[in-house]
Amino acid sequence: MPMSLIQEYAESLAALSGDDFEQEVCARLHSAILGFQEIPAKPQGDAGLDGFSHGGERGYCCYGMEHDAFKNNKQRENAIANKFKSDLRRLCELDFDKKKLICIDSAEMATILPDGRKLKHVSLVVNWFESHRILNPLFTAFSQYRNVSTCRYVDANASVAVVGPKQLANLYAVDEETILRASQRVLARRVQQTAQSVAIDDPKDFDTKMEILREIRPDQLPAITSLAEQFRANWRMSLAFERELDQTVPTLHQILEEDRKRILTRVSQLMIESEEPWKELQRASSIAEEVLAPDFGRLYGSIVQDVSSGEIARLIGDCTVGWKRLNTAHG
């Protein structure tokens, strides 16, 4: 039987981790709850709270556990319990001093919640909830924290609940746009992870051109080094993207090859018409993005910009994009 939208969304949530998970949770809550407020970590941290709603009476703490960081369920249970205990202590303005709970002042909480409001319920949203053994430690700890806390920002009778991928998926309606948004994050993360281990076969021409650029602009050596590093990273992203399409959606891989031809034509024309083609790299990346976005932006939107830049790095490495070494033609 085909998977339901709720099941599909739950699996997408479970596949996410880190900032990707937190961002998707906040996007989900923002679309479903009028007045949901995401909390940026800057400038001095988020005080343990990733978002709030209902005028400051409901709080949300997220934990996108890295999937490969723990070997067994016991380690996962401990990690989740420890992470959320830490968040709850911060909400309650508590810390440990030689294993004893003490009250502290949280300057950031005063800049987050509306004046006079206290959290009456806290949802602990996690990407893995396959064991009930995290519940007792969290509920017991929160009860203890409320008893010790001065309760400036948490109601003395506040409740807490753990929300996993299945629970979050079932809380509100799931439509195709929700599925697409979550799938995009999963696909983007997979490409990013693959890119970390992708090797560039022959970067010799690329390195040579970066060296030429250093000769042309010796006053910009740090900037050129940074540019080269970013181009290399995006080049690996482009290669990982190609591998992803080749392995999962061959029809899109063919479309990518056709798009690459169009990018080559337009970028070559741009470089030929310029007397200083090295100054056209940003415009070249924009051209690549203009070509790729219509075919890949909807599903892979968050990485299309990096992939586009990677395509230009690839053209530099293939000697398609070149410039002169002082007065000597090269590339």
What pLDDT was estimated at residue 330? 42
b/e map of 257-284 (b: 16 or more CB within 10 Å)? eebbeebbeebeebbeeeeebbebbeeb
Asked if omega into 2 is within 30° of 0 (cis), the reply is no
In a domain, 299, yes or no: yes
pLDDT of residue 156: 96
Alpha helices per DSSP H over the chain: 5-15, 18-32, 73-91, 135-148, 165-171, 176-195, 204-216, 221-248, 250-273, 281-317
Alpha-carbon separation of residue 179 from 24, 175, 185, 189 (angstroms): 11, 7, 10, 15
**CA 237 to each of CA 117, 282, 297, 327: distance values in angstroms, whole numbers, following the listed order:** 45, 17, 15, 34
Coil/strand/helix, residue 206: helix
Distance CA 28, CA 287 (A): 33
Strand 94-97 and strand 100-103: pairing? Answer: antiparallel
Same domain, residue pair 126 and 9: yes
Q: Show the domain range for 256.
A: 197-317
Tell me the residue length of the chain.
Answer: 331
- Asked whether residue 16 falls in the same domain as residue 153, the answer is yes
pLDDT of residue 21: 95
Give yes or no: residues 59 and 123 share one domain.
Answer: yes
**Cβ neighbours for 59, distance < 8 A, ≥ 6 positions apart:** 49, 51, 52, 91, 119, 121, 122, 123
**pLDDT number for residue 323:** 63
Tell me: do 213 and 91 sit in the same domain: no
20 and 148 co-located in one domain: yes
By three-state DSSP, how is residue 113 classified?
coil
Residue 231: predicted pLDDT: 94
Same domain, 135 and 208: no
pLDDT for position 329: 41
pLDDT at 171: 93
Indicate if 20 and 111 belong to the same structural domain: yes
Average confidence (pLDDT) per 10 residues, the chain, 331 residues? 83 93 95 94 84 96 90 93 96 92 89 94 97 97 96 96 97 90 88 90 85 89 93 94 90 94 93 86 94 90 91 85 51 43
Domain count, the chain: 2
Residue 322 forms part of a structural domain: no
163 and 207 co-located in one domain: no
Same domain membership, residue 230 and residue 269: yes
Query: What is the per-residue pLDDT for 327?
Result: 39
